[in-house]
Amino acid sequence: MPDEFMKISESLSTTQPFNVSDSPTLPTLQPKKNTVLISHGRPPWYSEDGHRISDAFVIGVAGGSGSGKTHVAREIIRKLGSVPTVTILSQDSFYKYLEPEEQALAHANKHDFDHPSALDLDLFSKCLADLKHCKQSNIPVYSFAQHQRLPEKKYLYGATIIIAEGIMALVDPALRDLYDLKVFVQCDSDLMLARRLRRDVKERGRDVNGILDQYLRYVKPSYDNFVRPTSKYADIIVPGSNNSVAIDLICTHIRQKFDERTNKFRPKIAIPHLHFTSLSGTSTLESVEDLDLTILPQTPQIQGILTILRDKTCPRQDFIFFSDRLSTILVEHAFQHLPYIPWTVTTPVGVDSTGKKLDAQYLCGVVIQRSGGALEKGFKRVINTVPLGSMLIQSDSKSAEPLLLQANLPLYVRLRHLAEDTYVFVLDAQIGTAAAAFMSIRVLLDHGIREDHIVFVTFLVARGGGVSILRQAFPLMKIVCAAVDETMQEGWLEGYKGEGNPEGVGRKVWLMKPGMGQIGDRYYL
Ligand SMILES: Nc1ncnc2c1ncn2[C@@H]1O[C@H](COP(=O)(O)OP(=O)(O)O)[C@@H](O)[C@H]1O
Ligand SMILES: O=c1ccn([C@@H]2O[C@H](COP(=O)(O)O)[C@@H](O)[C@H]2O)c(=O)[nH]1
C-alpha cells in the first residue's frame, strides 16, 4: 500500500441516505466504457538506448454494480486535467461468450453474471498486462442488450495512465499484481440498487421486474460473497457519492508518480556529437559508413533534384513536383531491403525467364505527420495497393520533448499476430534530432514489428544530429536517404510568425544545414 495513502474512513460519506437524485444527467445512450482520452500527447517512455523504461501507471477500481466505479474513473480523468493519454479498461467487456441456451437464460434473468467465472479474468489480465507494458491490445466488445460478446474487437494502445474498473477488479491475485494503486468504491446497497434500476432500464434495455429478480438472485449475494470482501486489498476506499475529496487525493498521487517517471529524453539525443568526445577532448562525429545508411547514388540527376529542392526560391509547385520525383526514386531504392525469391515466368514468345518475386508477407507504410506527407505520393506511385497509416508526433512547445499525439496504424501493425510478419516503410522528410524517428520506431516495436522489418525512408539525414544515437538504439532497422548533411545547429528559421515571435523575425530551432528548410511547410502551405 502506498504509504501516503490512508484508507479514507467509511464514515466520510459512504452511507448516504437513499437518494437517486444524485445523478440528474444520465445519458440516454449506453456510454462507451473503454475510452481512450488524449489531452496532451504521450512523452517518451523509453531511454536513448531504445528500451522501454516506464510502464503505464495502472489503477484498479472495484466496487459493487452501481457503486460509481465508472464515475470515479471519469472524474479522475477530468480532474487530472492536462495529462498524457489515459485509458479506461472496463471489465464489462470481458464477459464470456454465451452459448445460445445460456443466452436464452440470460434474457430470462436466469444467468449468473455476478460469479467470478462469468468473466474471462485471464484475458482481462493479459490485455491489461499488455497495455501496462506499452503494447497494443485488441479487447473484446460486449453487448449488454444482447448478453453476448460481439465478433468485433477494440484496439487500444499508448496509454500512460490506465484505469481498470469492474466488480471483480480486485478478486484475482494476478490482476492485483498489475495495479500501482487499488481503489474500492464503497456504496450503500439501496443506492446501488436504485442506480442500477435506472441505468439498466435506460441503457441496457431491461425491465424493472427482471432487474429486481436478477438483483435478489445473483447480484446482492455476489456482492456480499465476492465483491465486498475484496475491499481489504484496496489502498484507498472511496465513498460511492460525495467523493470529490477522495478523488482529489487519488489525482495528487497520480500526478506525483507521473512526475517521478518523466524522462528527459530530448537533451540526450538532440546533439549527440556534443556528448561523444574523443580522447583528445574534441567532439567527434561518427563516419557516414558507421551510420550504415543506404544513400542514393549521387548521380547528376539526383544532385540536380536536390539542388532544386534546396533552393529557397524554388516555387511551391516545383517543390511538390521534385519532392514527388525524389520520393518515388527513394521508395524504389528502399525495396532492395525487402526479401525476394527466384521466380520463373513464361514470356509472350513461350520462353521461360527466371527473375525475382517479392516475398514479404505483409507490407505497409506509416507517414510521420506532417512533413512525411511529402513522401506519400512517391510511395503510392511505387506501391498503391498497400495500406498507409500515420503518426502525429510533435514537440512540446515548453519542454521540446517529442509527444505522440495520434497513431493511426494499419491493421497489419495493430494485430500482433500479423505484425510479426509485416514489413513497414516509415516515411519522414528528414532525420535531424531524430526524436520523431525514435518515437515512431518504438511505437512499431511495441506492436511486435521486427526491427529488421522496418525501412525508414527520408530525404535528408543530418550527420551531426541524432542519427548516431538512433543507429545505436536500433542497429537492424534500415535507413534510406537521398543525402547526408553535415550539421545540426541551433538557428533562426526565417519568416516564422508565431508563439514568442509575433513579428516574424524568426524562430530558434535546430536546423539541418545546408538542409531544405521546413519541408512540410514548403510542400503543403
Ligand atoms: N458520486 C456520484 N455522484 C452522483 N452520481 C453518481 C456518483 N457515482 C455514480 N453516480 C451515478 O450512478 C450511476 C451508476 O454509476 P456508475 O459509475 O456507472 O456505476 P458502476 O460503474 O459502479 O456500475 C450513474 O448514473 C452515475 O452517474
Ligand atoms: O449481460 C450481462 C452482463 C452483466 N450484467 C450485470 O452487469 C453488472 C456489472 O456491470 P457494472 O457496470 O459494474 O454495473 C453485473 O452485476 C451483472 O449482473 C448483466 O446484467 N448482463
Give tens-digit pLDDT for 218-266. Answer: 999 999 999 999 999 999 999 999 999 999 999 999 988 887 777 777 7
Distance (Å, rounded) from C-alpha 155 to C-alpha 153?
A: 7
Q: Determine the pLDDT at residue 1.
A: 36
369 in ligand 2 pocket by Cβ < 6 Å? Answer: no
C-alpha cell, 374: 511529402
Grid look-up 421486474 returns 209
Give tens-digit pLDDT for 68-85. Answer: 999 999 999 889 877 778
Q: Tell me the fold of 274-340+358-484.
A: Rossmann fold (3.40.50)
Distance (Å, rounded) from C-alpha 378 to C-alpha 479?
A: 17
In terms of Cβ atoms closer than 10 Å to its own Cβ (0-12, 13-18, 19+), residue 278 is exposed
461 φψ region: left (φ > 0), alpha (ψ -120 to 50), beta (else): beta
Q: Determine the pLDDT at residue 491.
A: 63
113 in ligand 2 pocket by Cβ < 6 Å? Answer: yes
104 in ligand 1 pocket by Cβ < 6 Å? Answer: no
Q: Determine the pLDDT at residue 316.
A: 95
CA of 133 to the centre of ligand 2 (A): 28
Q: Determine the pLDDT at residue 490.
A: 66
Ligand 1, atom 27, lies closest to the CA of 23
For 391, how many CA atoms within 13 A lie in the half-sphere containing its CB?
A: 27
Q: Is the pLDDT of residue 22 over 50?
A: no
Q: Is the pLDDT of residue 2 over 60?
A: no
Give tens-digit pLDDT for 329-360. Answer: 999 999 999 999 999 999 999 999 999 999 99
Q: Determine the pLDDT at residue 86.
A: 86
**For a substitution probing ligand 1, which of 71, 93, 114, 197 has the most ligand atoms within 8 Å of its CB?**
71
CA of 480 to the centre of ligand 2 (A): 53
Grid look-up 452511507 returns 15
Regarding predicted confidence, which is higher, 510 or 471? 471
Residue 285: CB atoms within 10 A of its CB come to 16
Q: Is the pLDDT of residue 184 over 90?
A: yes
90 in ligand 1 pocket by Cβ < 6 Å? Answer: no
**For a substitution probing ligand 1, which of 32, 195, 230 has the most ligand atoms within 8 Å of its CB?**
195
> Is-same-fold flag (3-261; 274-340+358-484)?
yes
Grid look-up 495493430 returns 414
Give tens-digit pLDDT for 265-284. Answer: 777 765 545 444 444 555 56
CA of 440 to the centre of ligand 1 (A): 39
Pairing of strands 161-165, 57-63: parallel
C-alpha cell, 297: 547514388
431 strand-pairing partners: 461
C-alpha cell, 367: 507517414
pLDDT (average), residues 54-65: 95
CA of 1 to the centre of ligand 1 (A): 26
The ligand placed nearest to the CA atom of residue 200 is 2
- Residues contacting residue 473 through CB under 8 Å, at least 6 positions apart: 48, 49, 50, 438, 441
pLDDT (average), residues 390-408: 85
- Residues contacting residue 113 through CB under 8 Å, at least 6 positions apart: 95, 106, 214, 218
- The 3-state DSSP class for residue 100 equals helix
Q: Is the pLDDT of residue 104 over 60?
A: yes
65 in ligand 2 pocket by Cβ < 6 Å? Answer: yes
- The 3-state DSSP class for residue 154 equals strand
335 in ligand 2 pocket by Cβ < 6 Å? Answer: no
**Phi, psi dihedral angles at 56 (to 5 degrees):** -70, 155
Grid look-up 485509458 returns 87
Are the CB atoms for 40 and 403 separated by under 8 Å?
A: yes
pLDDT (average), residues 371-399: 91
pLDDT band at 34 (very low <50, low <70, confident <90, very high): low
- The one-letter code for the residue type at 286 is E
Are the CB atoms for 500 and 322 separated by under 8 Å?
A: no
pLDDT (average), residues 32-49: 72
pLDDT band at 492 (very low <50, low <70, confident <90, very high): low
184 in ligand 2 pocket by Cβ < 6 Å? Answer: no
Grid look-up 468473466 returns 119
Q: Determine the pLDDT at residue 123.
A: 97
74 in ligand 1 pocket by Cβ < 6 Å? Answer: no
Beta strand extents in 400-468 (DSSP E only)? 402-408, 422-427, 430-431, 454-462
405 φψ region: left (φ > 0), alpha (ψ -120 to 50), beta (else): alpha
Are the CB atoms for 230 and 170 separated by under 8 Å?
A: yes
Domain ranges of the chain: 3-261, 274-340+358-484
**For a substitution probing ligand 2, which of 105, 113, 187, 202 has the most ligand atoms within 8 Å of its CB?**
113
Are the CB atoms for 488 and 432 separated by under 8 Å?
A: yes
Grid look-up 437518494 returns 19
Are the CB atoms for 251 and 76 separated by under 8 Å?
A: yes
Helix axes 69-80, 244-261, angle to 10 degrees: 50
Q: Which atom of ligand 1 is nearest to the CA of 74?
A: 17
CA of 40 to the centre of ligand 2 (A): 33
Ligand 2, atom 1, lies closest to the CA of 147
Lowest average pLDDT, out of 396-410, 422-436, 440-454, goes to 396-410
pLDDT band at 9 (very low <50, low <70, confident <90, very high): very low
Q: Is the pLDDT of residue 3 over 70?
A: no
Ligand 1, atom 11, lies closest to the CA of 23
Give tens-digit pLDDT for 198-224. Answer: 999 998 888 999 999 999 999 999 999
- The one-letter code for the residue type at 490 is E
Mean residue pLDDT across the chain? 86
The ligand placed nearest to the CA atom of residue 243 is 1
196 in ligand 1 pocket by Cβ < 6 Å? Answer: no
66 in ligand 2 pocket by Cβ < 6 Å? Answer: yes
pLDDT (average), residues 47-51: 91
Pairing of strands 454-462, 430-431: parallel
Grid look-up 535531424 returns 432
Distance (Å, rounded) from C-alpha 319 to C-alpha 332?
A: 20
Q: Which atom of ligand 1 is nearest to the CA of 71?
A: 17
In terms of Cβ atoms closer than 10 Å to its own Cβ (0-12, 13-18, 19+), residue 234 is buried
23 in ligand 1 pocket by Cβ < 6 Å? Answer: yes
Distance (Å, rounded) from C-alpha 32 to C-alpha 50?
A: 35
92 in ligand 2 pocket by Cβ < 6 Å? Answer: yes
CATH, domain 3-261, list 3.40.30.10, 3.90.1640.10, 3.40.50.720, 3.40.50.300: 3.40.50.300
Q: Determine the pLDDT at residue 94.
A: 97
230 in ligand 1 pocket by Cβ < 6 Å? Answer: no
14 in ligand 1 pocket by Cβ < 6 Å? Answer: no
